[in-house]
Chains A and B, each alone.
Chain A
Amino acid sequence: MELLRQIFIEPFETMIALPDLLLQTLWEGFVSGTLYSLIALGFVLIFKASGVFNFAQGIMVVFAALALVGIHALGVPAYIAVLLTLGVMALLAFTIVRVVLKPLVNQPEIILFMSTIGITFILIAGGQLIFGGEPKAMITTELGLPTGSSDWEVGGGIVIFQHIDIAAALIAALLIAGLALFFNKTKTGRALRAVADDHQAALSVGISLEYIWVVVWFAAGVVALTAGILWAAKSDVSFALQVVALKALPVLVLGGFTSIPGAIVGGLIIGFGEKLFDLYWGSPILGGGTESWFAFIIALIFLLYRPEGLFGEKLIERI
């Protein structure tokens, strides 16, 4: 009885009694949701174009952020450091496609997936070897990112909007819009969608698979750098950050592996869901710390009803 009350009545009482807290929670959920979407987008891009489930996306986020901070520490101005980091990510994309993926063309998906786990290992250890393992501060102010905050008084309390969070949401939205434009309006983008539809057919009309793959891996690198900067501005640049990127997996399951809108909607659902659940149900009933598995369990339950995700393509299997 007490438990039922805790589940069905008390959370809503708290929501009504403290409207500012509810709004703040929704805002926090929105911000982390956009960041999850951004990381998930990196996965979707690569999966669509090459059928590779890129497990290394998480470490690419850390690697990009580390490279940026490391290059800046050499005395390079912040914006030039960003450009150089993009160069590093391009080089990384080229190397991965050339050395790892090209020899693995036509192998089963599981082999490709496992090869990205190998890449993850190399990047984690290599990153620590080059940049050192100790956490570093993100160069937030040098990049011109805002740091202050604004208040909004509501219902006897305040909702605090961090400017960096607003900037993060805006930048993420801009990047997603930019990528959408790129894929819909440019020649490369159209070629990419052709590859996503059918590798063989795309090859037969003269599209270079290798070039397209380098482009998507680079695009995923850009997404990783952005996600790395924005997330590290909230804490710091350290290797523990790559675990956060695993959160993108349930987002993908919710949205479907091949759908860009799916990644966005899935990210927002997870972002809102885990914050609300932990605050109103997880902490009072289960003792907190539910954020680590909530997204995954939601994805698991969801999968039982809709195995192809919200926007994914329905699988039709033949013998």
Chain B
Amino acid sequence: MFYREAGQYKATYEADSAKFPIFQDKLFIWAYLAIGFIAVPFFGNEFFLGAIMIPFLVFTLAAIGLNILTGFTGQISLGTGAFMGVGAYACYKMTLAYPDVNILIFIFASGIFSAIVGMFFGLPSLRIKGFYLVVTTLAAQFFLEWAFIRIPWLYNYNDSGAIEVPQREAFGIIVTGASASAEVRYIICLAVVVIMTWFASNIISGRIGRSWMMIRDMDIAAELMGVRPLYAKLSAFAVSSFYCGVAGALMVFMWLGAAEVESFDYNHSFEVLFMVILGGLGSLLGCFLGAAVIWILPVMIRDWLPPIVDAITPFTINSSQADLVSDIIIGVMIVVFLIMEPLGLARLWAIIKQKLRVWPFPY
């Protein structure tokens, strides 16, 4: 009933193959964008914007990057953290060299560096696949982590080996550094994520995206049908790393404000992989849902679990135990989802949508 599409006729092929063929979907998207751009920064306080929404957007972008590689092309990667690091260090070096250039240009440009590095470490994927590829991407992760420490030029010979985000302005507003307001940083992150999501959805439904999915579904068959694995796989690595690189630059410049190598360690690779699994492999919507659950759920558990336990049971738990409990819950959720709904939250949403369409007469 809520999704009744009776009466929505499609008279052209363009209308039929549109991103959101149903009127209600279009409405929702515009509504979400309005909430995201207007309501959230207007009503959200600094904690909500700075510690929940910005990280959520950063991780969404990284999850889109990984999903392109894992969900759409079928290549597992555990190097996400390091590729994010490449983007962050590239952005830092560029803005130090040219302080007057708009930082937003550098945030996008840093993705290019990440894409080059990603393509290089994607080369083995032409020969190997599956778990062997996991090991080579882990090699990329560890090697790059080492390089981030061992090449002092990258962090400008800082004694602490850390990069500190300098204050930069764009369009006359302070956008980075501690003086930048959370609203401004949030709007920038949101804009980047929206643009790049739109871009990704177009690549995926285009020729390149289709060749990725053919490689994923069966690479030999794809090759016989004329998809060149070299181009398809390396382009997937490049685009994926580009997204991760931009996410890394956003993470350091818009969220953390300073970073050392630990900010890009292999735990982040896992975190992003979890987001992709929970959200749904091969779904852009899933990246948003997965990032929301993996980032926001632990924050909620940490804040709410101790008072609940205090109130309901005779025991008390401290914040460390709550933290561990949230880890356990995430682990359990991963397993439960893999068993019951391997396609993740995105699939769950599709089921709900179908139910809404036919409700109240399901037959």
Contact = CB atoms under 8 A, between A and B. Distances in A.
Given A303-B127, A304-B127, A296 B143 contact: yes
Given A290-B146, A296-B142, A111 B132 contact: no
Q: Which of B150, B270, B328 has the most A CB atoms < 10 Å from its CB? A: B328
A107, A126, A299, A300: most-surrounded residue (chain B CB, <10 A): A300
A319 B224 CA distance: 10
Given A100-B335, A115-B334, A286 B150 contact: yes
B332 A296 contact: no
B128 interface: yes
B331 interface: yes
A115 B277 CA distance: 10
Contacts of A289: 146, 149-150
Interface string A278-304: 000000001101101100110110011
B335 to A, nearest CB: 4
Interface string A57-94: 00000000000000000000000000000000000000
B127 A296 contact: no
A77 B198 CA distance: 63
Given A287-B150, A297-B143, A249 B324 contact: no
Nearest to B143: A293
Q: How large is the interface on B (under 10, 10 to 19, 20 to 34, 35 or more residues)?
A: 35 or more
Contacts of B124: 300, 303-304
Given A100-B335, A100-B339, 12 more contacts: A117-B274, A120-B331, A122-B331, A287-B150, A289-B146, A290-B146, A292-B146, A296-B138, A296-B142, A300-B139, A304-B127, A307-B128
Contact of A246 (B138, B334, B342): B138
A113 B131 contact: yes
A125 B325 contact: yes
Say whether chain A's binding surface is mostly helix, strand, loop, or mixed. helix
Contacts of B325: 125, 129
B60 interface: no
Contact of B335 (A53, A109, A119, A249): A119
Interface string A96-117: 0001100110010111011101
A73 to B, nearest CB: 20
Interface string B135-150: 1101100110110011
B318 to A, nearest CB: 12
Residue from A109, A120, A121, A122 with most neighbouring chain B CB atoms (10 Å): A121
B307 interface: no
Contact of B132 (A104, A122, A303, A317): A303
A118 B331 contact: yes
B328 A252 contact: no
B205 interface: no
Interface of B: 76, 123-124, 127-128, 130-132, 134-136, 138-139, 142-143, 145-146, 149-150, 218, 220-221, 224, 270, 273-274, 277, 320-321, 324-325, 327-328, 330-335, 338-339, 342
Contacts of B320: 133
A103 B341 CA distance: 12
Indicate the member of A128, A133, A318 with the most B CB atoms within 10 Å: A128
Contacts of B327: 121-122, 124-125
A317 B321 CA distance: 48
B342 A107 contact: yes
Contact of A110 (B76, B142, B328): B76
A213 interface: no
B55 to A, nearest CB: 19
18 contacts: A103-B339, A109-B130, A109-B131, A114-B334, A117-B274, A119-B335, A124-B327, A125-B331, A129-B324, A133-B320, A246-B138, A249-B134, A289-B150, A293-B146, A296-B136, A296-B142, A303-B135, A319-B221
B331 A121 contact: yes
- The 4 A-B pairs at the shortest CB distance, nearest first, are namely A121-B331, A118-B334, A296-B139, A125-B327
Contacts of A107: 338, 342
A253 interface: yes
A315 to B, nearest CB: 9
A259 to B, nearest CB: 14
Nearest to A104: B339
A303 B143 contact: no
A110 to B, nearest CB: 6
A257 B133 CA distance: 13
Interface centre among B139, B320, B333 (most CB of A within 10 A): B139
A293 B79 CA distance: 13
Contacts of B149: 289
A199 to B, nearest CB: 18
A57 to B, nearest CB: 13
B338 A111 contact: yes
B331 A114 contact: no
A250 interface: yes
B326 to A, nearest CB: 8
Contacts of B274: 117
Interface string A302-319: 011001000000000111
A38 B338 CA distance: 30
B139 A114 contact: no
Nearest to B342: A111
Contact of B328 (A103, A122, A246): A122
B332 A319 contact: no
Contacts of A293: 139, 142-143, 145-146
Contacts of A119: 331, 335
Nearest to B327: A125
Contacts of B270: 117
A103 B325 CA distance: 24
B132, B321, B333 pick with most chain A CB within 10 angstroms: B132
A127 B322 CA distance: 14
B139 A257 contact: no
Nearest to A109: B130
B339 A121 contact: no
Contacts of B342: 107, 111
A317 B223 CA distance: 13
